[in-house]
Amino acid sequence: MKTNYELRYAAHPVDAKAYDTARLRKEHLIETVFTPDEVNLVYTMYDRLIIGGALPVKEILPLETIDPLKSDFFLSRRELGVYNVGGPGVVMVDGNSFELNYKETLYLGAGDRNVTFASSDPAHPAKFYFNSATAHRSYPDRKVTKADAVVAELGTMEGSNHRNVNKMLVSQVLPTCQLQMGMTELAPGSVWNTMPAHIHSRRMEAYFYFEVPEGQAVCHFMGEPTETRHIWMKGDQAVISPEWSIHSAAATGNYTFIWGMGGENLDYGDQDFFKETELR
């Protein structure tokens, strides 16, 4: 078992305009979310969100604290949202067991607690993708499924963006300090997400793309609305979206993505929209 982590620092949008492709990918793309029997973490200075993945195969993986947290437990001052995007798995929290199947999620409140990840069947290992934000108090743990979600059906087939937005770890479903997470599923034949594009300057965001067909790719768009950039991505990769940046994508096939946010409010509709014809 091994825990890997790295720090990502926040960038001024004027500086980001000068990034070439390699620098843009280095600062914002998380290429390796899952490594067998390891926990991978990226601590970003955008609202101090942590983006991570755990892939237990032969071992039970603990959620260990890391030096930047300066705490004895990972969740001492943090809340956590976990999605399972693999085979059946179990999250243990101080002896309490939460079974997570495919596309089910779990919210864990702050506290000095021991958390572990395990697969129910090593031949079909669980893949736990998670986001963690700082927390000012502890809210109750809760498993959330798509049946519990607030679902918004958006877009059209004619516009190539017919999709269901499953709002799962949001204030309409359960209380959190600042973390919000959900899952957007695109219908077959649709490739665009999050159009019209928008920013929410009071919250940053992270996207995790999965169910990307073999041999296909996702083109993630970011940057200021009048100074956009793009990052080509594969399945099971994540990308960091600053609060000043749009976050949208088109792909060579339909796909699913998990969005997570941290910031100063919990208003999902707190967005500043831009028409497609306004983007540059």
pLDDT tens by residue, 103-122: 999 999 999 999 999 999 99
Domain at 2-278, CATH from 3.40.50.300, 3.40.50.880, 3.30.420.40, 2.60.120.10: 2.60.120.10
Q: Are 68 and 43 in contact (CB under 8 A)?
A: yes
Summarize pLDDT for 176-211 with one digit per residue, the tens.
999 999 999 999 999 999 888 889 889 999 999 999
The mean pLDDT values, 10 residues at a time, for the chain of 280 residues are 95 94 98 98 97 98 98 98 98 97 98 98 98 97 98 94 96 96 96 89 95 96 95 98 96 96 85 87
Any idea what DSSP says for residue 187? P
- At residue 149, the pLDDT reads 98
Q: Are 53 and 128 in contact (CB under 8 A)?
A: yes
Could you tell me the CA-to-CA distances from 81 to 130, 169, 204, 258 in Å, in that order?
Answer: 5, 7, 16, 11
Q: How many CA atoms lie within 13 A of 46 on its CB side?
A: 28
Could you tell me the CA-to-CA distances from 47 to 194, 202, 263, 264 in Å, in that order?
Answer: 21, 10, 6, 9
- At residue 121, the pLDDT reads 97
Closest CA to 24 of 32, 15, 34, 16: 16
Any idea what DSSP says for residue 45? S
Domain borders along the chain are 2-278
Q: Are 204 and 240 in contact (CB under 8 A)?
A: yes
Summarize pLDDT for 35-45 with one digit per residue, the tens.
999 999 999 99
Q: Are 131 and 183 in contact (CB under 8 A)?
A: no
pTM of the model as a whole: 0.97
Q: Measured between alpha carbons, how far is 129 from 131 in angstroms, rounded to an integer?
A: 7
- At residue 279, the pLDDT reads 86
Pairing between strand 50-54 and 29-30?
unpaired
- At residue 36, the pLDDT reads 98
- At residue 117, the pLDDT reads 98
Q: Exposure of 47 by Cβ count < 10 A (0-12 exposed, 13-18 middle, 19+ buried)?
A: buried
Show the tokens assigned to 29.
């793309």
